Amino acid sequence: MVTTISTQEPSRERDAGPLFQPYRLGPFNLPHRVVMAPLTRSRARQPGNVPGSLAACYYAQRASAALIVSEATQVSMQGQGYAWTSGIHSREQVEAWRRITDAVHQSAGLMFCQLWHVGRISHPALQPDNMLPVAPSAIIPAGKAFIENERGEGTLVPFVRPRALDIEEMPYVVAQYVRAAKNAVAADFDGVEIHAANGYLLDQFIESGTNRRNDTYGGPVENRARLLFEIVEALTPIWGPDRIGVRISPMGKLNDIGDQNPEATFGYVAERLSEYELAYLHMVNPALEQMQNAKDPDPRALAMAKLVRKKFKGTLIAAGGFDAESGARWLREGWADLIAFGRKFIANPDLPERLRLSAELNTDDPSTYYGGGEKGYTDYPSLAQDRGEQPKPCVDQSWR
C-alpha cells in the first residue's frame, strides 16, 4: 500500500538545525521542535464515540513527536460535527483516552487533548434528540455535513440553519469545556488545547462574518472574543496556564469563515491571550494554501503571521504546509518556536527521525483519512521496521 517519495539521499543526515534544537515548553523539556498537529481520523467506536484501542497503537507509534496534539475531541454531544469522532464527555470515553495516554507515556511521549465544539458545522443527525446545531448567529454555512446514514455508511448532506445561542446559555457552553478539561485530567493528558480555529464554534464567535449578535458577545472584537477568554479563565484553575494552549486560524477560509478586518481581530486575540502566560498559541499558517502548492507565501498572509508573532509573547506553534526546509526557515527567522506537521505524520509515524536523516517519506493515502480500521492508520512502517529492527506495524484486529 505504501509508496515513497524522496528528493534527497535517504542515508544523509541533516545537520542538527533549528528543528532539532531542544525547547522548554511550560514545565516540559522538549527534545526537538517537531509537533504532531491534531488530525481528525473518524475512527471512534460506536455507540458512544469512544476512541478505540487501535488509537493507542496509532498515537504510541507517533510518540517521538515533541508534542502530540490529539485529534479534535468534542466536549459534549452538542459539540459533535462529524460521524465517528471521539468525545471526552462520558466515563467510557475518559477510560479509553486513559489507555491511549498510558501507551503514549510508556513510549516517552507528551500529549495534549484538543477540546472541540463545532457549533454550526454539524447536523441534527449528529445532535442529541436531533436538535439544531448551535452558533453565535443563525447563518447557514456553505458546504455539507459528514454523517452516518441508515446503512451505517458515511455520507454528505447539506448543512441546516443553526440556532443562535441565547445569552443565558453562555455559562452552559463554558461548563462543557470545564467538564471536558476535568475529564482530560482524569484521562492523564499532559495538557489541553482549546480549539478556536477552522470555523468551529469559538472561531464563529470571533470572526465578524459569522457573528451578527448585538449583545455582549457580538459587535466589537472585545465582545466577539469574550467566550474564548471566559473559557481560558475557567480552565486555568484546572490545568494551570502553562498546560493550556489555544489554536487560532487567522485569515482561514475553512468552513465558510471570514472576518472584515482579520489583522485587527487576530492582533487583539493574540495580544490578549499573551496576558494569560499560556503554554502556547497554535496558529494555523495564514500562508497554508500557497505553501502547500510550493508557492511563496502571500505577502498579506506572511504579514499576518508576523503580526501574531509580535503580539503573542509566549511560545508560538505554526502549523500547515511545512516541510523540513520551510519549517527550519520559520524557526530561524523567529516567526515560530515550534512547527506542527499534520499529513506527514499520518504516513510517517517516525517523522522526526525521517526529517533529521533526510530519509524517504511514506506517501499518505487520502482515501483512508476518515473512517475504517488499521489500513492507512497504523500500518505505515517506520524506518526501524523497514530495517527489521522493530515488530511490524499494528494491523491485527486485537487492537480493536
DSSP state letters, 58-95: HHHHTTTSSEEEPPPEESSSTT--BTT--BSSSHHHHH
Is 4 strand, coil or helix? Answer: strand
Residue 35 above 70 pLDDT? Answer: yes
> How far apart (Å, rounded) are the C-alpha atoms in residues 369 and 203?
24
What is the pLDDT at residue 397?
53
Query: Where is 33: in which H helix or E strand?
Result: none
Pair 147, 83: CB distance under 8 Å: yes
Cα three-residue angle 396-41-192, rounded to 5 degrees = 110
Are residues 126 and 208 in contact, defined by beta-carbon separation less than 8 angstroms?
Answer: no
Q: What does the pLDDT read at residue 16?
A: 56
Under the banding of pLDDT at 50, 70 and 90, the label for residue 289 is: confident
Rounded CA separation 31/71 (Å)? 22
Q: Is 380 a catalytic residue?
A: no
Give me the catalytic one of 177, 200, 268, 280. Answer: 200
CA 400, CA 396: separation in Å to the nearest integer? 8
How confident is the model at residue 304, as a pLDDT? Answer: 97
List, for residues 201-245, the tens digit of each pLDDT value: 999 999 999 999 999 999 999 999 999 999 999 999 999 999 999
Element (H, E) at 361: strand 361-362
Residue 294: the pLDDT is 81
pLDDT of 127: 98
pLDDT digits (tens, 9 = 90+) for 257-268: 999 999 999 999
Tell me the torsion sign for CA atoms 294, 300, 302, 305. Answer: negative
Cα–Cα nearest to 324, from 302, 348, 303: 348
| Among 336, 325, 353, residue whose Cα is nearest residue 66 | 353
Q: Give Cα 52 to chain centroid, integer Å.
A: 19
Q: Average pLDDT of 65-90?
A: 98
**Beta-strand pair 316-319/67-69:** unpaired
Tens digits of residue pLDDT in 107-149: 999 999 999 999 999 999 999 999 999 999 999 999 999 999 9
Sequence-separated (6 or more) residues with CB below 8 Å from residue 87: 44, 48, 49, 50, 73, 74, 75, 76, 77, 79, 80, 93
Q: Which grid coordinates belong to 234? A: 475557567
The answer to whether the bond into 47 is cis (omega within 30° of 0) is: yes
The DSSP letter of residue 245 is E
- Per-residue pLDDT, averaged over 59-76, amounts to 98
Strand partners, 25: 28
